Amino acid sequence: MVPADFEERVYTVVRQIPRGKVTTYGQIAYMIGFPKNARLVGATLKHSKRDQITPCHRVVNAAGRLVPNWEEQRELLLSEGVTFKENGHVKMKDHFWQ
């Protein structure tokens, strides 16, 4: 069962991701004690405000793929120094935060 404060736990972790780093939905789920709920983390972030207080742009999937149809995400990451592979995915080995 997912606790009532699940969303706040997710946002608390996202707010800790440093500039120039990214993490994954699965890593956030693991960090808050719900390792099998990566999709629920994604759904939570999908419905959040995209602002500077909660830098959702720093969350990608396990392969480093960006959120579909959110063109601004790449620009925000580039402005923080995040680098990408030729396929458009984040270079996770250089920028993964856990």
Catalytic status, residue 89: no
Q: What is the mean pLDDT of residues 19-43?
A: 97
For residues 28-41, give the mean pLDDT.
97
Range of the domain at 24: 3-92
Q: Which two tokens stand for residue 68?
A: 């579909």
- In-domain check, residue 98: no
CATH number for the domain that contains residue 24: 1.10.10.10
Pick the catalytic residue: 14, 56, 66, 82? 56
Q: What is the pLDDT of residues 44-66, one digit of tens each?
A: 999 877 666 889 999 999 999 99
Three-state DSSP class for 57? helix
- Per-residue pLDDT tens digits for 78-98: 999 999 999 999 999 999 998
Determine, yes or no, domain membership for 97: no
Q: Is residue 54 part of a domain?
A: yes
Exposed / middle / buried, residue 55 (Cβ in 10 Å: 0-12, 13-18, 19+): buried
This prediction's pTM: 0.93
Paired strand residues for 96: 22
* Residue 72, both tokens: 């601004």
Hey, is 70 helix, strand or coil?
A: coil
Q: Where are the alpha helices (DSSP H) in the chain?
A: 6-14, 25-31, 38-46, 71-79, 92-95
- 36 occurs within a structural domain: yes
